[in-house]
Amino acid sequence: MEVNYKNPRYYNTAKLPIRQPLIFTGLMAALSKAALIGKDYRIEKINMEGLKPPYMLLSNHMYFIDFELSAIATFPHRVNNVATIDGYYRRPFLMEWIGCICKRKFTTDLHLVKSIRHVLREKGDVLCMYPEARYSPVGTTAILPDSLGKLVKQNKVPVVVLLHHGNYLHTPFWNYRKPRKCPLYTTMTQILTAEQVAQMSAEEINAAIRKAMEYDEYRWQREQGIRITEPYRAEGLHKVLYQCPSCGREHVMASEGTELFCKACGKRWEMDELGVLHAKAGETEFPHIPDWYEWQRANVRAEIERGEYRFEDEVEVYSLPRAWKFEKLGMAKLTHDPENGFVLEGEYRDAPYRIERAPLGMYGVHVEYDYCYLRPEDCIDISTDKDSFYCYPTKTDVVTKLSLATEEIYKMHMERKAAERSARRARKAMKAAE
For residue 6, being part of any structural domain is answered with no
Distance CA 398, CA 141 (A): 21
Residue 420 located in a structural domain: no
The dihedral through the CA atoms of 73, 78, 82, 84 has a sign that is positive
- Measure the CA–CA gap between 40 and 53, rounded to whole angstroms: 29
Specify whether 107 is located in the same domain as 255: no
Of 275, 305, 335, at which residue does a domain stop?
305
What pLDDT shows up at residue 418?
84
| Tally of domains in the chain | 3
Distances (CA, A) of 136 to 149, 323, 325, 329, 420: 21, 25, 27, 29, 33
Of 169, 201, 224, which residue is a domain's last?
A: 224
Please list the ranges in the chain whose pLDDT falls under 70: none
Category of 284 on φ-ψ map: left (φ > 0), alpha (ψ -120 to 50) or beta: beta
Question: In terms of domains, do 206 and 323 share one?
Answer: no
Asked if 166 and 80 sit in the same domain, the reply is yes
In Å, how far are 216, 332, 345, 372, 383 from 314, measured between CA atoms?
A: 35, 6, 10, 22, 18
Give the residue among 308, 306, 319 at the shortest CA–CA distance from 383.
319
> Do 172 and 263 share a domain, yes or no?
no
Query: What crossing angle do the helices spanning 289-305 and 399-433 adopt, rounded to 10°?
Result: 60
Cis bond leading into 21, ω under 30°? no
- Domain membership flag for residue 417: no
> H helices of 200-307, where?
202-212, 217-224, 289-305
Question: Do 269 and 241 belong together in one domain?
Answer: yes
Same domain? 273 vs 367: no
* Residues 155 and 254 occupy one common structural domain: no
Residue-number span of the structural domain to which 285 is assigned: 237-305
pLDDT at 7: 86
- pLDDT reported for residue 393: 97
pLDDT at 432: 80
pLDDT number for residue 113:
94
Q: Which of 202, 170, 147 is nearest to 65 (CA)?
A: 170
Burial class (CB in 10 A: 0-12, 13-18, 19+), 7: exposed
Q: What is the pLDDT of residues 178-212, one digit of tens each?
A: 999 999 999 999 999 999 999 999 999 999 999 99
pLDDT attached to residue 430: 81
- Going across the sheet that includes 277-279, the strands are 253-256, 259-262, 268-271, 277-279
pLDDT value for 141 = 92
Are 27 and 146 within one domain? Answer: yes
Inside any domain, residue 67: yes
Q: Is residue 32 part of a domain?
A: yes
Residues 328 and 295 in one domain: no
3-state helix, strand, coil in the chain (%, to 5): 35, 25, 40
The reported pLDDT for the residue numbered 386 is 92
Indicate whether 65 and 122 sit together in one domain.
yes
In terms of domains, do 247 and 292 share one?
Answer: yes
Q: How far apart are the first and last CA of the chain?
A: 51
Residue 207 inside a domain? The answer is: yes
Query: What pLDDT does 422 receive?
Result: 83
Domain boundary among 305, 329, 352: 305
pLDDT value for 16:
95
Please give the angle made by the CA atoms of 82, 83 and 89, to the nearest 5 degrees: 155
**pLDDT tens profile 388-402:** 999 999 999 999 999
Same domain, 77 and 217: yes
Contact indicator for 73, 188 with CB cutoff of 8 Å:
yes
C-alpha angle 110/128/390, rounded to 5°? 60
CATH number at residue 160: 3.40.1130.10
Distances in Å between the alpha carbon of 94 and those of 18, 103, 104, 278, 393?
Answer: 12, 16, 18, 47, 32
Query: How confident is the model at residue 354, as a pLDDT?
Result: 97
| 409 in any annotated domain | no
Please check whether residue 73 lies inside any domain of the structure: yes
